[in-house]
Structure formats: C-alpha cells, structure tokens
Chains A and B, each alone.
Chain A
Amino acid sequence: DAGVTQSPTHLIKTRGQHVTLRCSPISGHKSVSWYQQVLGQGPQFIFQYYEKEERGRGNFPDRFSARQFPNYSSELNVNALLLGDSALYLCASSLEDTSRAGELFFGEGSRLTVL
C-alpha cells in the first residue's frame, strides 16, 4: 500500500505570495495532521482534521488554513508568506481521531523556501 504522499516536494516562493500544499493519507486513514519543521527543530503542530472536521489547531497565525476533502486528502494553505515560513511541512495520517495511543504515519514533506 502507498504511504502518505505529499506534493510538491520542493518549492520556492517570494514574500507575500500564497502557497498550497497537498497531502494524500494512507488508504483507510481518516485523520490528517499538519506539522511545520524548521531546520534544526522538532515538528510543530499546525492542524488536525478528522472526517473533514477541524479537531485541533496549533499556535499559528490565521494566515495558515487547511481543509480535508471527502476522499480524506488535505490541503494546507499559507497566505502572505514571510521569510520565517521557510520550513519542511509534514503531513501525517492516522486511523484514529485521538492521538494518545495512535501512531502517526508521516509523509516525506514539502520543503518550502521563502525568498
């Protein structure tokens, strides 16, 4: 079975632009989470969606938004890009809604560079 797939793998944008990142979860997984990983740091939680509903939001500005589609794929949108948004954006899928005992399955990420 295919793992979590993300696109694009790399992209370069300039300040003020908008970006859309896409994620397809593992087949059968209904939960998708997004994390931001700045170089040298651990992943930071941005959003979690389950059955197309937002179930959690991290401490990120309103420039960040996401949605989940009926086929459980997801998009992360970032508006008015800042230099500090440069990071690896990770998508993770899981079977369950709650995360206490569940395992996250990560994609390889989308590397965003903002110039």
Chain B
Amino acid sequence: GNSVTQMEGPVTLSEEAFLTINCTYTATGYPSLFWYVQYPGEGLQLLLKATKADDKGSNKGFEATYRKETTSFHLEKGSVQVSDSAVYFCALSATGNQFYFGTGTSLTVIP
C-alpha cells in the first residue's frame, strides 16, 4: 500500500541553523511527492513538489530531492528563520485521487 513516514518532532532550532526533516515512503507505481506546510492559524499550503525520480523541488529556500533508490524525500533548508516556524507534512500521490500524508513535524525556530 501507500504510506509516508516522517521524522517525529517537535524540532527546535536556532535562527540560521541547518534544517533536515526526514521523509520516506512506500508506494505502488510511480508516486509524486510533496511537502506541505501549515503555519500557525492558517490552512495547509504546498511548499514544494517533485513528480519523478531525481527531480528536485525547491521553494522559499527549501529543497527536497526525490530519491527512488532510498524511497526518500527529505526536506532541507540551509538557514532557517523564525518565520519558518510551522508544521511540515510530507505527502505522496500515486494511483487514484488521494494524497497520503505523514504525521507532520513541528518546527520552532528561536531567535
């Protein structure tokens, strides 16, 4: 079946620290992979995506590379800011019309 496993939080970092949030997946077929972010008081919004192996998605300084050989899609940012504090969800879409989400990783960035 389809599923996503992401590292548990919460994660607390100092401003300008390096961020990695791990995400691995199990899927039938050839999934598309996504990172969604939920800022406090707001709805989920797409951060970045990759639709095939070796694609790199990037947005707002965040990057993730679709690694088929390790079934991973880890989220990275070189220098986090206080405004990056949010909950991050890894997700996949394979066959059919549904998205499968991980449990979310809460990130707090302190000045």
Contact = CB atoms under 8 A, between A and B. Distances in A.
Interface in A40-63: 40-45, 48, 50, 55-56, 58
B101 interface: yes
Contacts of B102: 42
B98 A106 contact: no
B38 to A, nearest CB: 9
Contacts of A103: 34, 46, 49
Contacts of B53: none
A43 B94 contact: no
Contacts of A92: 44
A50 B96 CA distance: 12
Contacts, number: 72
Interface in A5-37: 31, 33, 35
B43 interface: yes
- SS class of chain A's interface: helix, strand, loop or mixed? loop
B14 interface: no
A45 B98 contact: yes
Interface residues of B, number: 25
B51 interface: yes
Contact of B99 (A97, A104, A109): A104
B62 interface: no
B93 A42 contact: no
A13 B98 CA distance: 28
A93 B98 CA distance: 12
Contacts of B101: 35, 42-44
Interface of A: 3-4, 31, 33, 35, 40-45, 48, 50, 55-56, 58, 90, 92, 97-109
